[in-house]
């Protein structure tokens, strides 16, 4: 699928015509890629069944993987969800607008295709100014998964979004680099228990502070045997072309033995790596920097022609948990 003429909107914050145009595309059932504080989203009118169907087509996304619906504020919750528990309101009041999604009982105005037939809907209130302008101008809830083709790393820059979606969508909005770089934290609240379905920048530690001792907090079990309660978590994800391996420490002898003179890309925080001609090294200054640049680096390394990518494993604490969740999927659990 590569047939649409895609408008590239480079100046939406200063050009009211660009904003008008993007909102009109959404109102008419079209697809608009837009920046958010997490990653670029592939947006359509969440109330329009055909528009939602075209999201799945543009991404090559399996039909049983539901979409996140974006709204402008807490007061719009009842347009897409119902029976909202008080803990959900408390969490939204603390973490929204921001990189935080809650799975709630679905309002019947949301078509079944958006929620993959589930009776729940995932809802997020984004903070990115362009995402908010688009929600405000269109007056619509916007269904938007990450704007990558299914299985690939999510785009976190305009160039990555263009690479993934030009020719497949009606417009792509330039919002520069995404601040967080990893997708939102997703929680559900079955029986008043908070369950983290996908870790993100709103961390388990942060959620615990808000809930106090009132509610138990359960981390979704990961690994191939766990039955995911978030359908998307069962699919291959975040994968560049080169196979990814995780490493806790740099083991020069082992790497040389395993991969010989193949070109290797290494992404790390603190490895001490002897220089070598057939290695590209990208180092990050902090966990936040690692999260923000992870997907871009995976894609950049592919473009540099590396045959193997080795990524440093980090401690599963704070945002480190989200980084490891994405790296485990990108690597399929392979380690060196």
Give 3-state DSSP helix, strand, coil % of the chain, rounded to 5: 35, 20, 45
Residue 97 or 232: the one with the smaller Cβ distance to ligand AMP is 232
Least distance from C-beta 141 to Mg ion, angstroms? 18
- Interface with Mg ion (CB under 5 A), residue from 115, 146, 157, 297: 146
The H-assigned helical ranges of the chain are 16-27, 49-59, 77-80, 86-95, 129-138, 158-165, 204-211, 252-259, 287-303, 319-331
Q: Which of 103, 173, 299, 314 is in the footprint of ligand AMP by CB under 6 A?
A: 103
**Residue among 247, 232, 239, 257 at smallest CA distance from 311:** 247
Q: How far is the CB of 138 from ligand AMP (least distance, A)?
A: 19
Residue 111 in contact with ligand AMP, rule: CB under 6 A: no
Residue 186 interface partner, choices Mg ion, ligand AMP, none, CB cut-off 5-8 Å depending on type = ligand AMP
- Among 120, 203, 312, 325, the residue binding ligand AMP under the rule CB under 6 A is 120
Query: What's the chain's Rg over C-alpha atoms?
Result: 20
> From the list Mg ion, ligand AMP, none, which binds 120 (C-beta under 5 to 8 Å, kind-based)?
ligand AMP
d(C-alpha 69, C-alpha 149), whole Å: 19
Q: Tell me the closest approach of the beta carbon of residue 148 to Mg ion, in angstroms.
A: 6
Could you say whether residue 233 binds ligand AMP (CB under 6 A)? yes
Residue 318, binding choice from Mg ion, ligand AMP, none, Cβ under 5 to 8 Å by partner class: none
> Is 331 a residue that touches Mg ion (CB under 5 A)?
no
Interatomic CA distance for residues 217 and 208, integer angstroms: 7
By CB under 5 A, residue 138 contacts Mg ion:
no
Question: Binding mask 37-76 vs ligand AMP (x if CB under 6 A, - otherwise)?
Answer: ----------------------------xxxx--------
Q: What is the DSSP string of 218-275?
A: EEPP-STTS--SSGGGGS--S--SS-EEEESS--HHHHHHHHTT--EEEEESS-----
Query: Quick check: 164 binds ligand AMP (CB under 6 A)?
Result: no
Order of strands, edge to edge, in the sheet holding 244-247?
Answer: 244-247, 308-312, 264-268, 279-283
User: Which residues contact Mg ion (rule: CB under 5 A)?
Assistant: 146
């Amino acid at each position: 699928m590569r047939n649409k003429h895609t408008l590239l909107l480079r100046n939406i914050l200063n050009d009211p015509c660009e904003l008008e145009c993007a909102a009109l595309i959404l109102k008419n059932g079209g697809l608009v890629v837009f920046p958010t504080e997490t990653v670029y989203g592939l947006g359509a009118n969440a109330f329009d069944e055909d528009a939602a169907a075209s999201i799945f087509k543009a991404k090559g996304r399996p039909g049983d993987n539901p979409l996140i619906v974006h709204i402008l504020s807490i007061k719009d919750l009842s347009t897409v969800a119902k029976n909202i528990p008080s803990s959900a309101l408390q969490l939204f009041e603390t973490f929204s607008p921001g990189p935080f999604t809650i799975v709630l009982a679905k309002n019947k105005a949301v078509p079944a295709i958006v929620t993959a037939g589930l009776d729940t809907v995932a809802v997020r209130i984004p903070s990115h100014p362009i995402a908010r302008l688009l929600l405000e101008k269109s007056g619509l809830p916007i269904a938007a998964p990450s704007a990558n083709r299914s299985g690939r790393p999510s785009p976190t820059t305009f160039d990555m979004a263009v690479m993934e979606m030009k020719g497949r969508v009606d417009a792509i909005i330039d919002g520069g680099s995404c601040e967080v770089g990893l997708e939102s934290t997703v929680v559900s609240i079955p029986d008043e228990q908070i369950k983290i379905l996908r870790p993100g920048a709103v961390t388990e530690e942060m959620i615990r502070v808000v809930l106090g001792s009132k509610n138990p907090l359960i981390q979704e079990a990961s690994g191939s045997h766990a039955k995911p309660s978030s359908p998307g978590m069962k699919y291959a994800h975040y994968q560049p072309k080169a196979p990814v391996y995780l490493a806790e420490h740099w083991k020069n002898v082992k790497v040389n033995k395993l991969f010989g003179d193949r070109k290797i890309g290494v992404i790390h925080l603190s490895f001490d790596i002897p220089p070598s001609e057939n290695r590209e090294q990208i180092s990050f200054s902090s966990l936040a920097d690692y999260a923000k640049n992870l997907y871009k680096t995976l894609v950049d390394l592919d473009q540099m022609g590396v045959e193997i990518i080795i990524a440093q494993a980090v401690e599963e604490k704070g945002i480190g948990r989200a980084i490891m969740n994405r790296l485990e999927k990108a690597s399929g659990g392979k380690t060196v």
